[in-house]
Structure 1
Amino acid sequence: MPWDNERGPLFRAIVPNQHSRVTYAELLFDLVFVFAVTQVSHTLLAHFTPLGAAQTTLLMLSVWWVWVYTSWVTNWLNPELTPVRILLFLLMLGGLVLSTSIPLAFDSRGLWFAIAYAAMQVGRTIFWLLSTPRQRTAARMNAIRILVWLSTSAIFWIAGGIMQGQERLVLWVVALAIEYVSPVVRFWIPKYGASTVADWYVEGGHLAERCAGFIIIALGESIVVTGATFADLKWTFEVVAAFLSAFLAALAMWWLYFHKGAEAGSELISNSSEPGRLARLAYTYLHLPIVAGIILSAVADDVVLQHPAGHSDVRVVVSAVGGPMLFLVGTILFKHVIRGWLQLSHGAGIVALGVLGWFGKELSPLMLSIATTLLMVIVAIWESLSLRSKAGDAPETQSDASSA
């Protein structure tokens, strides 16, 4: 197993066939991102235009990226040790500045957002580099590669924070593109070249648990926002129905991700011979549409609660249908990686949501919400029955094979 020897004093101990638990310091760090996710959804709600959607998407991508990079680093470093805890606490402070800057990131707080983001990305990587023993060559080279890429993107983040209007958006798109492309090219830089798959050993079970925790954060945020909105409204029949629909939709999303998918993903990556490759695809990239779908669904829940009657406008249709659709796209791709086949229930749900979106303007926001919730519940039940059927067929297949 790579990296078993020559561990640095701040690195986790690797125990065969046992994954490291998520520490309390990591959980505390994650709480900052409850606030960040709330800020992203509220920002989209306040600026639901094509430009506002593009800006909010960029902000959401940056929030996810800074969180997932921290999860990779704490997969290697041990948060039970004081220096690593101090790093997480400093990153929490940066995360709070980042989160509070989100609503005005394309207005008066752009430079604050950029400085906080760049400082978190570059500062964390410098700490990782300094914590890695010199004899651990592969890890040090990886830290140097990542530092070069993140330092390059930081230039564009800061420049964008100084600029205004479209120039800021363009520069930040370039910065984010640099960061999202870098893992694909394995952080290639002159002289050092690109990293290899063996260089990216991760403790798979721990990383899977961390990403599952972020999904819980996003779902919890949507439930909290829905409950807060519901508490401030007059409890008419339509409002109560909209609240129940939003709650059931959140439960369906939880079921679709956690009932079998999260556990299967954790088991697969824990036993994989190339956990780094699987972590990059399934947990770094394919969780993005899952998180985006939850955030967009939370926006829909808020809109429907406040205006359940009348005809659905473009904002309602896009959020009410687009949220569950993004979630299903993310989960079908994630489960394809861990199971090896495309889940028919999810594919049918995506098609059904597309048809529903075509006729969405003809329905009231409440009826559209109920219809999308019903589809998500059907997909969840269908998948559960399908997996139970496959599990029931497995012993039969083994018996037939033995007879043959």
Structure 2
Amino acid sequence: MTEESPGARVSTLELFFDLVFVFTVTQLADSLAHHLTPSGLLDVVLILIVVWWMYSGYAWLTNAVAPTTTTRRTLLLAGMAGFLVMALAIPEAFGAYGWLFGAGYLVVNIAHSVLFLQAGPAAVRMMRVLGPLNLLAASLVLAGGFLPEPWRHLCWLGAPVVQVLASYSHPMELHHIVAGHFVERHSLVMIIAIGESVLAIGVGVTGMRLDAGLILAAVLGLCVAYYLWWTYFADGDRRSEHVLAEVDDPARRGRLAVNAWGYAHIPMLLGIVLTAVGIKKALGHAFDGLHWGEAVTLGGGVAVYLLGHAVFLRLLHRPGAAYRLAIAALCLATAPLGHYLGIAQLAAVAVIMSAGAIAEDIPRVRRAGRDAAIGDFGRGA
């Protein structure tokens, strides 16, 4: 088993970076809330994929190159500035400010490549392939900002294709992954992103009269956000860290990191965006029927999140995927209820998620009690 460094943990500067990145998630939710259509959803998915690819790239970067010098911190600040510009341009990323989004994305890529070149000879070898492909993807996004349709969307579609190819084009054993830092970094960004669902509650009730019914609906929205947290964190991210740390082969460890913390996290983040939009819409029409698109967004957002986490668990060979799939199907099935009454769907989703959490916890609690009893018996003997 590869030995891990217990001191290699996420710095406050990296957490600051994550806060800037999550602003893009907030902007995506706001953009989708104003354009809740199939084309609006497609645009959000495309933006999320390319943005997450580079956020994940920075998670790999700081796993290999700690931001401990003034030069490194300055380059990381440049990357943060690029993410901020991208977030500001998101509402018009496929419109007037497409070029601005692309320019910010190019800055993010350049800063990433320059920083990674400081990670040693193996990183230099890796970046000879990965760096140009990342810059090609960024160039496609930038070019799309200047081109008319359909070329704009074709360029955006080409960017994630290049990024996926990039993940298979270089030897994964060149990456040195410190499991503790890597898992913690992704866990922190997930908890900040889930906070977006809580922010949606505040946005959803802005300007409304705070009566008992609205407060109840807000609390139900908080319960839904809580069970998003429970799904990811209740069993502890230490288990995921141990699975990653116990992969001895560097190539297999790198591939697991890409698949589980890269690709599988995309539907989870998309689910958070959709759930935030669904909660916001439900609070605005708590005692009315939601439009079908709004009701599907609420139930479907939770379902997409759970599907992503089920894939994550399967990749790590951890239990719980079946529970996620069952709860996802039930949450999606609440859409007709939301079309009838918004608060009824919020309540149903919260109850379904809590029931699923209890059902999943019962065997674990029983095992823990059995193990404790056996331990007490052994000490008594």
The equivalent position to 2:227 in structure 1, one of 252, 270, 274, is: 252
TM-score (norm 1): 0.86
The match for 2:215 is 240
Letter in 2 for 1:309: F
> 2:4 touches 2:178 (CA, 8 Å); kept in 1?
no
Structure 1 segment 185-334 matched on structure 2, within 5 A: 185=168, 187=169, 194-195=170-171, 197-274=172-249, 275-334=253-312
Is contact 1:95-1:116 (8 Å) kept? yes
Shift of 1:139: 2.2
What does residue 54 of structure 1 align with? 42
Query: What corresponds to 1:22 in structure 2?
Result: 10
Name 2:314's counterpart in structure 1. Answer: 336
* Counterparts of residues 5-404 of structure 1 (less than 5 Å): 16-129=4-117, 131-133=118-120, 136=121, 138-183=122-167, 185=168, 187=169, 194-195=170-171, 197-274=172-249, 275-357=253-335, 359-360=336-337, 362-392=339-369
Structure 2 residue identity aligned to 1:326: V
Deviations 1:90-127 (A, max 9, x none): 11111111110001111110000011112211331133
- Cα distance change, pair 343–397 in 1 and its aligned pair in 2 (3 A): farther
Mean Cα deviation higher: 274-283 or 85-94: 274-283
In 1, Cα distance between equivalents of 2:276 and 2:339: 22
Q: Cα gap change, 1:161/1:397 in structure 2, threshold over 3 Å: closer, same or farther?
A: farther
Q: Give the 3-state SS of the residue equivalent to 2:334 in structure 1.
A: helix
More deviation in 236-245 or 168-177? 236-245
The DSSP-based 3-state class of the residue aligned with 1:182 is: helix
**How big is the shift at 1:75?**
0.6
Paired residues, number: 373
The residue matched to 2:194 in structure 1 has which SS? helix
* Alpha carbons 1:293, 1:323 under 8 Å: kept: yes
Contact 2:140/2:155 (8 A) holds in 1: yes
**TM-score by structure 2 length?**
0.91
Offset at residue 81 of structure 1 (A): 2.1
Mapped partners of 1:215, 1:94: distance in 2: 21
> Aligned partners of 2:267 and 2:343: how far apart in 1?
24
Change (3 A) 1:306 1:214: same
Separation of aligned partners in 1, 2:75 and 2:148: 32
Residues in 1 aligned to 2:10 and 2:85: alpha-carbon distance in whole angstroms: 24
Return 5+ residue gaps in structure 2 as ranges.
376-381
Counterpart of 2:350, as a letter, is: T
- 2-side partners of 1:266 and 1:332: how far apart? 17
- How far apart in 2 are the matches of 1:276 and 1:316? 39
Structure 1 pair 34/114, CA: closer, same or farther in 2 (3 Å)? same
**Residue 75 of structure 2 contacts residue 111 of structure 2 at CA under 8 Å; is this kept in 1?**
no
What percent of counterpart residues are identical? 27
CA RMSD, Structure 1 to Structure 2 (Å): 2.3
Q: Counterparts of 1:72 and 1:251 in 2: how far apart (Å)?
A: 28
- Is the CA contact (8 Å cut-off) linking 1:204 and 1:279 kept in structure 2? no
Shift in CA distance, 315/238, structure 1 to aligned 2, threshold 3 Å:
farther
Name the CA shift for 1:108/1:273 in 2 (closer, same or farther; >3 Å): same
